[in-house]
Amino acid sequence: MIGRDNEQTPHLGDSVLDSALDSVPVGAIEAGGTKFVCGIGSVDGEIHDRISFPTGPPEETLAQAIDYFAGRGVQAIGVGSFGPIDLRAGSAKYGFVTTTPKVGWANFDFLGTLRRSFDVPYGWDTDVNAAAYGEAIWGAARGLDSCVYYTIGTGVGVGVYAEGRLLHGLLHPEGGHLRLRRHPDDTFAGCCPYHGDCLEGMAAGPALQARWGVPGHELAADHPAWEIEAHYIAESIAAAVLLLSPRRIILGGGVMQQEHLLPLIRQRAAASLNGYVAASELAEGLGEYIVAPGLGTQSGLRGALALGIRALEQSRSGLGDSSLSGI
Amino acid sequence: MIGRDNEQTPHLGDSVLDSALDSVPVGAIEAGGTKFVCGIGSVDGEIHDRISFPTGPPEETLAQAIDYFAGRGVQAIGVGSFGPIDLRAGSAKYGFVTTTPKVGWANFDFLGTLRRSFDVPYGWDTDVNAAAYGEAIWGAARGLDSCVYYTIGTGVGVGVYAEGRLLHGLLHPEGGHLRLRRHPDDTFAGCCPYHGDCLEGMAAGPALQARWGVPGHELAADHPAWEIEAHYIAESIAAAVLLLSPRRIILGGGVMQQEHLLPLIRQRAAASLNGYVAASELAEGLGEYIVAPGLGTQSGLRGALALGIRALEQSRSGLGDSSLSGI
């Protein structure tokens, strides 16, 4: 029989174990393709200490993370990693980075390497799923049972939290590679090596640079680049609304530091949906629906912390090591 | 604390209540925009009796359904309804059909009307979510924790089962209205009143008729219509793979009765994804991945039965009436 648990939103730390866990240090790793961020946090979601360093070869990079956590008594570690990664329960490659073109990282046993140093429960998910989780628990989607988190920077990644769970399946969402209708004024071929003109190929930082000859942050707020940029992001948001029906959409990443971009995206997403999805949240210009991260630039690290806390709670409540059951 | 239940796939009827429920009659309603199908089934998933009639004005149509179930002793009723519908737990309009243009049905209290006749637990979801559920439990996605079900007929609907649950959020998926890249040879404006050239506007039965002047079933298997048809369906499937990562995609509905269409769709979906999502299920030409319904034309009715069984089980195990908790 299927019992749907009634909680719509996880309340990490609201468990009966609270008092036992309050002072427990939990490790968090936001493993990005260009930068690692490691931190130590607590069940209340606070990060008490952090460090970051460039992502180098996997063994060296993990050694830096292991050095950082050594002797700090972390009782669990949550990892949000660049991907693709294997997070299928029971897979022999669970905990691995899989087919990435990033030199040295393909088929690397990320969690296994950590396990050899720290025998603790592990949380494990994509960097963007972790960020979605952090935002759902402590950020802009707090209190909601679903959200979609975008990072739009060097690449485009999409994390999905739905029905109170991080979404996986065949692998995990790869929404950065959606194929989208072209902006009518845009002749740029796109720069994704797989798809050319997918979302990432048209709207990530390198696409802005390649299309206009300068980095995005050097383009004035009234430059036509931003209408085109907003078009692709908004088209992908319309697809996410139609397939996932999330209660909130959160846009993070370096490109979104251009604050004039968010209102343009809202306008274009509303135009693309054209009133079809009759939900009150989609009225009023989408100002409450498509939003900036509530955790600023910490969505990923705090999401990784949440993954770690959850693994710890599952372990202590006898639900099994979350690194086996997935999230 | 969040406890993720470990079952990946629901096994309706596998509960300790089995023996008590084996012989219990459960009602099922597949409420389509043109046709209602009502049936009586049992916990093993079998439908023992059924009836169908055209969808007329709501009161008259529900009266026919109520007449059918009267005196048959159903202990629960599952409904998969055309939409949009309200299935938000706690909403004052839970159980209503909401903004449909279908005359008389907008803002109609579907479940409330049934409740006045039968005081039993109710399952309630969209027709396509119900079909996805039926396929996940007894059909082509049996044993999997995720699938996407399409119906491509008078309209296009998309149901989503992910992480072992039917997916809801703001409302429910409305994937039939995805905006897609045009086929390069296609100049048809599309016939969706909201979007023109969205998936439904380009690929539903009426679009085939409007574009070619004859119904789809009169077009030869080598007519160029099918390449164009396959293009739009495949583009939407690529989007579903990238955003939902489902373990299987199931294509039902009248247009899919053209059996030559399925291989074309697989080819085009593979071309659109271009090898990016490195999952073994996506190798081998997608023959095991994009499939016909395992339940033939009964996905929706048997899915509605599953919703009813689940509501009954939740009710008897004290988890609450599923018509309140949703699915």
Q: Do strands A290-291 and B26-31 pair parallel, antiparallel, or not at all (unpaired)?
A: unpaired
- Cβ atoms of residues A290 and A262 within 8 Å: yes
ipTM: 0.92
| Phi then psi dihedrals of residue A67, to 5 deg | -55, -40
Q: Own/partner pairs for B31-36, CB < 8 Å, 24+ apart?
A: B31/B55, B31/B79, B31/B80, B31/B81, B31/B82, B31/B110, B31/B127, B32/B82, B32/B127, B32/B300, B33/B82, B33/B100, B33/B102, B33/B154, B33/B155, B34/B154, B36/B61, B36/B64, B36/B65
In Å, how far is B77's CA from the nearest CA of chain A? 17
Tokens coding B111: 């479940």
Res B70: pLDDT = 98
Mean predicted confidence (pLDDT) in A202-213: 98
Tokens coding B286: 């997608």
Mean pLDDT of chain A: 91
Interchain contact, B162 vs A162, CB within 8 Å: yes
Residue A190 DSSP SS3 = coil
In Å, how far is B320's CA from the nearest CA of chain A? 9
How many degrees, rounded to 5, is the angle at CA A240 between CA B242 and CA A154? 65
Mutation to test the B interface, candidates A1, A91, A200, most B Cβ within 10 Å = A1
Interchain contact, A168 vs B163, CB within 8 Å: yes
The residue to which tokens 């997070």 are assigned: A87
In angstroms, the CA B226 to CA B221 distance is: 7
Identify the CATH assignment for A140-292 out of 3.30.420.40, 3.10.580.10, 1.10.150.120, 3.40.1080.20: 3.30.420.40
Q: Domain residues of chain A, as ranges? A: 18-127+297-317, 140-292
Q: Which residues of A touch B98 (CB under 8 A)?
A: 278
In Å, how far is B121's CA from the nearest CA of chain A? 15
pLDDT band, very low/low/confident/very high, at B321 (cuts 50, 70, 90): very low
Tokens coding A154: 């060097």
Kindly report, residue by residue over B28-71, the tens digit of the pLDDT. Answer: 999 999 999 999 999 999 999 999 999 999 999 999 999 999 99
In Å, how far is A19's CA from the nearest CA of chain B? 13
Peptide bond into A206 cis (omega under 30): no
Measured over all CA atoms, what is the biggest interatomic distance in chain B, rounded to whole angstroms?
59
Residue B142: burial class (beta carbons within 10 Å; 0-12, 13-18, 19+)? middle
Mean predicted confidence (pLDDT) in A34-58: 96
Write the CA distances from B290 to A63, B103, B121, B188, B250, integer angstroms: 43, 35, 34, 26, 6
Res B188: pLDDT = 97
Interchain contact, A275 vs B15, CB within 8 Å: no
Q: Which of A146, A243, A279 sits opposite B243 (nearest CB)?
A: A243
Tokens coding B300: 């929706």
How large is the angle between the packed helices A299-316 and A127-138, nearest 10 degrees?
80
In Å, how far is A155's CA from the nearest CA of chain B? 14
Interchain contact, A3 vs B179, CB within 8 Å: no
DSSP state of A279: -
In Å, how far is A90's CA from the nearest CA of chain B? 12
Q: Which of A174, A242, A282 sits opposite B276 (nearest CB)?
A: A174
Fold of B18-127+297-317: Nucleotidyltransferase; domain 5 (3.30.420)
Interchain contact, A167 vs B8, CB within 8 Å: no
Mean predicted confidence (pLDDT) in A111-117: 98
| pTM (two decimals) | 0.92
Kindly report, residue by residue over A121-147, the tens digit of the pLDDT. Answer: 999 999 999 999 999 999 999 999 999
In angstroms, the CA B157 to CA B131 distance is: 10
pLDDT band, very low/low/confident/very high, at B99 (cuts 50, 70, 90): confident
CA B228, B232, B235, B240: dihedral to nearest 10 degrees? -150
Kindly report, residue by residue over A176-193, the tens digit of the pLDDT. Answer: 999 999 999 999 999 999
In angstroms, the CA B145 to CA B4 distance is: 13
For chain B, list the strands marked E by DSSP. 26-31, 35-41, 47-54, 77-81, 96-97, 108-109, 122-126, 147-152, 156-162, 165-166, 249-252, 290-291
Q: Which residues of A touch B282 (CB under 8 A)?
A: 170
Q: Which of B239, B314, B320 sits opposite A178 (nearest CB)?
A: B239
Interchain contact, B2 vs A244, CB within 8 Å: no
Q: Which residues of B touch A1 (CB under 8 A)?
A: 10-12, 14-17, 310, 313, 317
> B190: phi > 0 → left, psi -120 to 50 → alpha, else beta; which?
left
**By CA distance, what is B172's nearest residue in A?**
A245
Contacts of B54 (CB under 8 A, 6+ apart): B34, B35, B36
- Residue A20, pLDDT above cutoff 70: no
Q: Which residues pair with B53 in a beta bridge?
A: B36
Kindly report, residue by residue over B271-291, the tens digit of the pLDDT. Answer: 999 888 888 888 878 999 999
Neighbours of B198 (CB within 10 A): 29
- Of all residues in chain B, the percent with pLDDT exceeding 70 is 91
Interchain contact, A244 vs B239, CB within 8 Å: no
Interchain contact, B243 vs A272, CB within 8 Å: no
**By CA distance, what is A177's nearest residue in B?**
B242
Q: Number of C-alpha atoms within 13 angstroms, CB side, residue A183?
A: 22
pLDDT band, very low/low/confident/very high, at B326 (cuts 50, 70, 90): very low
Q: How many CB pairs below 8 Å do chains A and B form together?
A: 215
User: CA torsion sign, A203 to A207 to A211 to A213?
Assistant: positive
Mean predicted confidence (pLDDT) in A245-260: 97
Kindly report, residue by residue over B11-34, the tens digit of the pLDDT. Answer: 554 444 455 677 899 999 999 999
How many degrees, rounded to 5, is the angle at CA B12 between CA B8 and CA B17? 120
Mean pLDDT of chain B: 91
Kindly report, residue by residue over B229-264, the tens digit of the pLDDT. Answer: 999 999 999 999 999 999 999 999 999 999 999 999
Interchain contact, B6 vs A173, CB within 8 Å: no
In angstroms, the CA B264 to CA B272 distance is: 12
- Residue B6, pLDDT above cutoff 70: no
Domains B18-127+297-317 and B140-292 share a fold: yes
Kindly report, residue by residue over B288-311, the tens digit of the pLDDT. Answer: 999 999 999 999 999 999 999 999
Interchain contact, A174 vs B242, CB within 8 Å: yes
- Cβ atoms of residues B47 and B305 within 8 Å: yes
Tokens coding B242: 């990238």
Mutation to test the B interface, candidates A4, A96, A172, A274, most B Cβ within 10 Å = A4
Q: Which of A243, A276, A281 sits opposite B240 (nearest CB)?
A: A243
pLDDT band, very low/low/confident/very high, at A322 (cuts 50, 70, 90): very low
Q: Which of A14, A163, A310 sits opposite B163 (nearest CB)?
A: A163
Q: Which of B84, B168, B239 sits opposite A243 (nearest CB)?
A: B239
Q: What is the DSSP string of A135-189?
A: HHHHSTTTT-S-EEEEEESSSEEEEEEETTEE--SSS---GGG-B-PPPTT----
Residue B309: burial class (beta carbons within 10 Å; 0-12, 13-18, 19+)? buried
Element holding B193 (H helix, E strand): none
| Phi then psi dihedrals of residue A144, to 5 deg | -105, 150
Kindly report, residue by residue over B168-207, the tens digit of the pLDDT. Answer: 999 999 999 999 999 999 999 999 999 999 999 999 999 9
